[in-house]
Amino acid sequence: MAHPRRALILDTETTGLSPSTDRIIEIAVTLYDLKLATPIASFAALARGDYNAAEHINCISVASLAEAFEQERLWVAVCDLMASADVICAHNANFDKSFVEASEGFKQTWDSSGKDSSHRQVPWVCTLNHVTWPGKRTRNDLTSLALSLGVPVIAAHRAATDVDILCRVLTRVAEMGINLQELIGAAMAPRQKVCALVSFEQKDKAKAAGFNWEPSTKRWIKEARVGETFDFKTRAIP
């Protein structure tokens, strides 16, 4: 889809980093109209649980989880908004996507929701790595991105807060005259993993182009758009 109309802005808080052993304990979603540059519906909730190994990071107490929504109720609300979206946007989307798709509550709710097949595979866009944001910054984490665009940040690292920040970033970018449908549409283009063929002296070029150093293979890698070119040679990798 070249010009998506509605984006589901999504963020999660989890008990750890592995979707195979950890779980979502908070999720927030906002259905955002890219043409009108405004949020139109939101939902956020804690997910009932009895542990949180990442409490020192997300500050979500186990006591609050004991009073939270049951998984089934949470996912009904999320899937309802997701079914109205053309694309799901998250900052560092691979992380959130892996946890959402590993959730039994999500899979059961989505599969039983009766949505037609066109809604079963809503594409994901990573606003950290796939969107070409205006302006310059040394880092592209959500806080740095927001501040570089003049969007105030008074708190972070809770799902609803981070979704709100990303929504305000989108609205700010639209105020700058950028077409959000085209911006997100471009980020939805097919991608492939490539490595930069650069010398040690050229590493800054790769870094500036959004490539990340992979220590295990000792190479600069990136998920680039198919056909995308750079000021240096690249090679497609598995």
Rounded-to-integer distance, Cα 218 and Cα 158, Å: 34
Contacts of 197 (CB under 8 A, 6+ apart): 232, 233, 234, 235
**What was the pLDDT predicted at 119?**
46
SS (H, E, C) the chain: CCCCCEEEEEEEEECCCCCCCCCEEEEEEEEEECCCCEEEEEEEEEECCCCCCCHHHHCCCHHHHHCCECHHHHHHHHHHHHCCCCEEEECCHHHHHHHHHHCHHHHHHHHCCCCCHHHCCCCEEECCCCCCCCCCCCCCCHHHHHHHCCCCCCCCCCHHHHHHHHHHHHHHHHHCCCCHHHHHHHHCCCEEEEEECCCHHHHHHHHHCCCEEECCCCEEEEEEECCCCCCCCEEECC
Nearest to 85 by CA among 161, 9, 190: 9
pTM attached to this predicted model: 0.88
Nearest to 52 by CA among 31, 22, 76, 77: 22
Angle between helices 93-102 and 104-111 (to 10 degrees): 70
For residue range 131-163, list pLDDT tens digits in order: 999 998 888 899 999 999 999 999 878 999 999
For residue range 36-86, list pLDDT tens digits in order: 999 999 999 999 999 999 999 999 999 999 999 898 889 999 999 999 999
**What was the pLDDT predicted at 210?**
83
Rounded-to-integer distance, Cα 25 and Cα 143, Å: 22
For residue range 21-38, list pLDDT tens digits in order: 999 999 999 999 999 999
**What was the pLDDT predicted at 138?**
81
Distance of CA 200 to the CA centre of its chain: 31
**What was the pLDDT predicted at 116?**
47
**Both tokens of residue 60?**
């979500």
Rounded-to-integer distance, Cα 46 and Cα 34, Å: 27
**Both tokens of residue 63?**
């006591």
* Interval 218-223 mean pLDDT: 94
